[in-house]
Structure formats: structure tokens, C-alpha cells
Structure 1
């Protein structure tokens, strides 16, 4: 049965919020990773990579807001402390000193990591009848899969 945010049990809200905050944390770290690479990329593919990295971080910045607002719609707390996000995230920071190829590989792996976390969120939300969170997870996951494909295409 489909549940709106206010119809979910408190334990369902807590579980879904924990998963949403995990996705939010990984999205924030991946956003900064893309922005860092945007600032620091060098090489023969500078132009297209500079533009692609910008497209990614701009998309992810909007995605952060969507995830955080869903947490708030569940009447829960959206994590906003960077240190806690870094601790929670399965995506690691990078210093921006990588080669363009290494940047692509790191960012593609980050996209795949976030996509997998979002898939788990979608399954969890579906299990609780929270189709709105499930839909958000599917939408964001599809976006991260697309960026992973676009990045990996540069490596072939």
C-alpha cells in the first residue's frame, strides 16, 4: 500500500531517513569531487572534461537539495555537517592532483557508488510503500548511471 510521508510509521521514517542521509552524504562528496576536478583538470581533453565535470557538479548540487527536502518532507533532520557526511560517505575525497584519466576513473567509480546506494534506498522505500522516495531514488540513480557511462566512455 502506498504511504505518504505522514502515513509512514516512525520506524519507517527513521530507516528511510538514514538511507536518504547516506545518499545525501555521498552526493555531497561526489559533487565536491566533480567540482575539484573541474578546477584542476589538465591535458588534451581539458575543454570537454572541464565542461562535463561542471555539468556533473551542477546536477549533483540540485540533487542534494532534492534528497534533503525529501528528508524534511518526512519531518526528519537532513544532515548538514560536512565532517559527518565525509565520515558516512562511501565516496572518498581526492586532492585534485590526479591525471585526467585518474579523475575520470575516480569520478566514474563515485557515480557507481552513489547509484548503488540510491538503488538500496529505492528498495527500502518500496518495502515501506514510500513510492515518492522510491521514485526520487530511481530518478537520481538513473542520473548517476548516465554520468558513470559518460565518464567511462572517455576511457575507451
Structure 2
């Protein structure tokens, strides 16, 4: 007999998903702090445009951080919450002293590439586990971020 959690998912599948979601959470936390720094430190002729765009981006990332942590809890697991763990687990690296607008945008695009790939992996695991909640969350993130990546690529020319 299967061991099911409170939302009716097999506990081992929920644990596997939560582990991947914790990896995603680590990436989002570093991504968020990088973009926050870009917002504070960007300089140049596109300052006003990029300052506003970076604020929009980090606000979106912060919402996703909370949603991912809550999804981990819904799966019956605990979200990691130490920056040392985030730094250790994240594929996105800290950006320090980056203030050139184009370089900031390139970093954001690189980060989207990482989180989109990880979300696709989670989407597949969620499908295998019949976890529609995680599936829906990841599908929504992917479709939003693909459009954003296209727009940022167009911005860079």
C-alpha cells in the first residue's frame, strides 16, 4: 500500500519534488538578490528604464520565492531558509558590483535560462507524481519567463 501525504500524493514522490523545489528556491533567492542589487546600482543612459524594470523583476521573483516555499510546505516538507544553503545549492552565482545595464540584463537572461530548465525538470517530475498543483505552478512560471526572456533578448538587440 502506498504511503500518501495529506494532499494524496505518494510521500516519496512528494519528497523528491520538494527537494527539487528547494533547489529552485535556492536559485530564486540568489536571483532575487542579484536583481535587487542591479536595481540599486545600475548606471548609464538607460538608468530610469532599467531601474524600473529591475524593480518589477525582483518583485515578481519575491512572490515566486514565497509561492515555492509554500508549495514545499504543502507537499509536507520544509523549505530551506539559510543563505549559506542557498549559495551552496544554487546554480545561479552571486553577482557583485555589477552596474552596467546591458551586463545586468545578460545576467538576468542567464538566470532565467537556469530556472526555466529546472522548472521543466520539476514539471516532468510533477507529471509523473500526478501533482497538478506543482505542475500548474511550474507551467505558469515557464510561460511567463519565456516571454520575458524573449523581450530582454530583444532589448539587447
Normalised TM-score (structure 1): 0.93
Is the alpha carbon distance of 1:86 and 1:143 closer, same or farther for their aligned partners in structure 2, counting shifts above 3 Å? Answer: farther
Mapped pair 1:33 → 2:34: yes
* Cα offsets for 1:90-142 (capped at 9, x unmatched): 11110133421111111111011111111111111001100110111111222
Query: What pairs with 1:50-65 in structure 2 (closer than 5 Å)?
Result: 50-65=51-66
Structure 2 residue 52 is matched with structure 1 residue 13: no
Q: Where does 1:1-156 land on structure 2 (aligned, <5 Å)?
A: 6-156=7-157
Contact 1:4-1:130 at 8 Å conserved across structures: no
Q: Is the 8 A contact 1:5 1:130 kept in 2?
A: no
- CA distance, structure 2, for counterparts of residue 64 and residue 30 of structure 1: 10
Aligned-CA RMSD value: 1.5
* Separation in 1, partners of 2:152, 2:26: 21
Render the CA deviation track for 1:39-85: whole Å, top value 9, x for unaligned.
01001111111011100000010001100000001110111111101
TM-score by length of 2: 0.92
Runs of 4+ in 1 over 6 A off after TM superposition: none
Tell me the distance in 2 between the aligned counterparts of 1:30 and 1:5.
Answer: 31
What are structure 2's unaligned runs of at least 5 residues? none
Q: CA separation in 1, counterparts of 2:143 and 2:25? A: 16
Q: Distance in 1 between matches of 2:92 and 2:62?
A: 16
Q: Which runs of 5+ in 1 are unaligned?
A: none
Q: Contact 1:115/1:142 (CA < 8 Å) preserved in 2?
A: no
Q: Residue 148 of structure 1: CA displacement?
A: 1.8
